[in-house]
Homo-oligomer: A and B are copies of this chain.
């Protein structure tokens, strides 16, 4: 059904948020793909003339208006719910669909990038479909949590390769291990960064079921990772990264009174 773009006074407003790709943006129009059209018109049942929020996943957001030829950009939005620190999570892949949960929770909590890893005790060997699914979950979690940045998710790689790659990068790096009398991630970060200004980037690695092997921990330490604890209890492979993420986000967002 063709409808003229309605005037501002009649425009309906919705809270729907949609991640779009940069190549969909043509000056003041965002060209929607079939899946997005279906979602907007059939699933959440927006009509032409209703406004919603489009985000490019790289830090920009606009209020846009659904029209017959796409989403017309009305105005830029300056909201910002991103953390002041870029957080990379190196995660030894847990069994089953555990990494789906990790992406969902940790994206909500502000993670910037995920490096899924194959460790000695990893059982999962995910294909391309699984990786596409992870990226979709990350987009949905960005829409839900009202973030502007969609975290990057790399293809799974051997954990030692990842550790060694980080050895040349002079940024704070932590590896969470259970059953060692290590200092806690919170107190370690508080000691390492006594000023309220966060580092620009931080890396935390968490293990899969059965934990890290001694050799993996040694490779991490040799690559500049500090061994930390996430508390005395034995956490599941899913619980560890989101605990780390909750600690990091509160540490820099929650210490300034906000």
**What residues of B have a CB within 8 angstroms of the CB of A257 in the complex?**
183-184, 187
Complex Cα distance A251/B145, Å?
A: 25
Closest Cβ of chain B to A8, distance in Å, is 25
A249 cross-chain contacts in B, Cβ below 8 A: 231, 243
Interface check A123, CB cutoff 8 A: no
Interface residues of A in 101-123 (CB under 8 A from B): 105, 108-110
Q: In whole Å, how far is A231's beta carbon from the nearest beta carbon of chain B?
A: 5
The answer to the question of A233 belonging to the interface, with a C-beta cut-off of 8 Å to chain B, is yes
- A186 interfacial by beta-carbon distance below 8 Å: yes
Residue pair A105, B247 in contact (C-beta under 8 Å): no
User: Is A235 part of the contact surface with B, judged by Cβ < 8 Å?
Assistant: yes
Candidates B144, B147, B239; contact of A109 at CB < 8 Å: B239
Copies of this polypeptide in the complex: 2
A197 on interface, CB distance cutoff 8 Å: no
B250 touches A186 (CB 8 A): yes
Contact residues in B for A110 (Cβ distance below 8 Å):
231, 233
Is there a chain B Cβ closer than 8 Å to A72's Cβ? Answer: no
Check A78 for interface membership: any CB of B closer than 8 A: no
B contact residues around A145 at 8 Å (CB): 233-235
Measured CB to CB, the closest approach of chain B to A46, in angstroms, equals 19
Q: Which of B147, B230, B233, B255 contacts A233 (CB 8 A)?
A: B147
Q: Does A242 contact B (CB under 8 A)?
A: yes
Inter-chain contacts of A251 with B (CB < 8 A): 186
B108 touches A254 (CB 8 A): no
Report the minimal beta-carbon distance from A145 to chain B, rounded to whole angstroms.
Answer: 4
> Is there a chain B Cβ closer than 8 Å to A7's Cβ?
no
- Say yes or no: is A38 at the interface (Cβ < 8 Å to chain B): no
In this assembly, does A161 line the interface, its C-beta being within 8 Å of a C-beta of chain B? no
Within 8 A of B (CB), among A181-239: 181, 183-187, 190, 229-236, 239
